């Protein structure tokens, strides 16, 4: 059950159209659903957190991903699956012909209807090589209901590229900034705007980059106020957090 459905149900109880006992039964129906021996789905996640449980595809077989997606879709009408490999994406496309398959982001989205987008979030990435992580954040934001846009290839080696977007930075409610190598872009962007900024280090870089550790430490040590950092390559986590900020914020322009 989604928050809007719960609200409608409680209004119906208040108006006398639905009996309290029927409402209680609907609310408590199958909060946890077992799927085979491999998954226990949390159907009350949307009530607590505002969005249904998300499928983390890594480590799951294509059949398991499809089975979990089918049950989530039947109950919630929206499914986001991340870190889905080639075989998993092919299986999802075959099982759900209307699935939105995002190859570079490694995400699959199922939904009966698109949400009306709210607010505005900008996702920036330093280089083209960072696009898989940046697009994961973008897909997450758009699936959850944020109006989100991507600005790609604006790394600090050509500082004028990001400076050209200063007006768009100021009009966003939240920012997601993705960078590998030395991870300097979030500090630069953080110094140009007063918007909440979520920094995402990536595994893009040479040997002393240590598979994302170098930009992670750079971002954690940023001297720009308002910079928050998620784990290496965690575009999903950044997108999810930015959506919560965007949905609850009164700043920026809708």
Tell me where in the chain the CATH 3.40.50.1970 domain(s) lie.
Answer: 118-248
What's residue 174's pLDDT?
A: 96
How many CA atoms, within 13 angstroms, populate the side-chain half-sphere of residue 74? 9
What's residue 13's pLDDT?
A: 76
What's residue 11's pLDDT?
A: 81
What's residue 108's pLDDT?
A: 98
User: For the purposes of burial, counting CB atoms within 10 Å of the CB of 118, is it exposed (0-12), middle (13-18) or buried (19 or more)?
Assistant: middle
**Which pLDDT tens digits describe the chain residue by residue (254 residues)?**
566 666 776 788 788 887 887 766 666 666 777 778 888 787 777 777 788 889 999 999 999 999 999 999 988 889 999 999 999 999 999 999 999 999 999 999 999 988 889 999 999 999 999 999 999 999 999 999 999 999 999 999 999 999 999 999 999 999 999 999 999 999 999 999 999 999 999 999 999 999 999 999 999 999 999 899 999 999 999 999 999 999 985 544 44
Number of other CB atoms surrounding residue 29 within 10 Å? 12
Query: Which residue in the block uniquely carries the two structure tokens 């009164």?
Result: 250
Q: CATH classification of 118-248, choosing from 3.20.20.70, 3.40.50.720, 3.40.50.920, 3.40.50.1970?
A: 3.40.50.1970
d(CA 69, CA 51): 14
Which residue, among 145, 148, 144, 147, has the nearest Cα to 52 in the 3D structure? 144
d(CA 31, CA 248): 26
What's residue 2's pLDDT?
A: 61
| Non-local CB neighbours of 144 within 8 Å, separated by 6+ positions | 51, 80, 115, 239, 240, 243
d(CA 75, CA 87): 25
């Amino acid at each position: 059950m989604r928050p809007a459905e719960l609200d409608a149900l409680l209004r119906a109880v208040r108006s006398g159209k639905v009996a309290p006992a029927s409402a209680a039964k609907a609310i408590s129906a199958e909060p946890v659903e077992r799927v085979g021996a491999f998954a226990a789905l949390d159907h009350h996640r949307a009530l607590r957190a505002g969005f249904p449980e998300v499928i983390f595809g890594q480590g799951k077989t294509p059949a398991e991903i499809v089975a979990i997606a089918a049950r989530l879709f039947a109950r919630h009408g929206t499914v986001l699956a991340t870190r889905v490999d080639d075989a998993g994406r092919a299986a999802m496309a075959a099982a759900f012909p209307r699935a939105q398959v995002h190859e570079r982001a490694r995400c699959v989205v199922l939904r009966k209807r698109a949400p009306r987008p709210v607010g505005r979030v900008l996702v920036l990435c330093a280089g083209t090589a960072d696009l898989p992580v940046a697009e994961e954040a973008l897909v997450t934001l758009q699936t959850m209901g944020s109006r989100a846009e991507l600005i790609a290839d604006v790394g600090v080696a050509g500082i004028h590229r990001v400076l050209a977007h200063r007006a768009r930075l100021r009009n966003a409610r939240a920012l997601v900034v993705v960078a590998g190598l030395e991870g300097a872009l979030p500090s630069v962007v953080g110094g140009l705007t007063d918007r909440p900024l979520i920094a995402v280090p990536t595994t893009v870089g040479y040997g002393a980059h240590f598979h994302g550790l170098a930009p992670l430490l750079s971002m954690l040590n940023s001297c720009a106020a308002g910079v928050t950092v998620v784990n290496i390559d965690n575009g999903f986590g950044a997108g999810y957090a930015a959506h919560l900020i965007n949905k609850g914020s009164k700043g920026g322009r809708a």
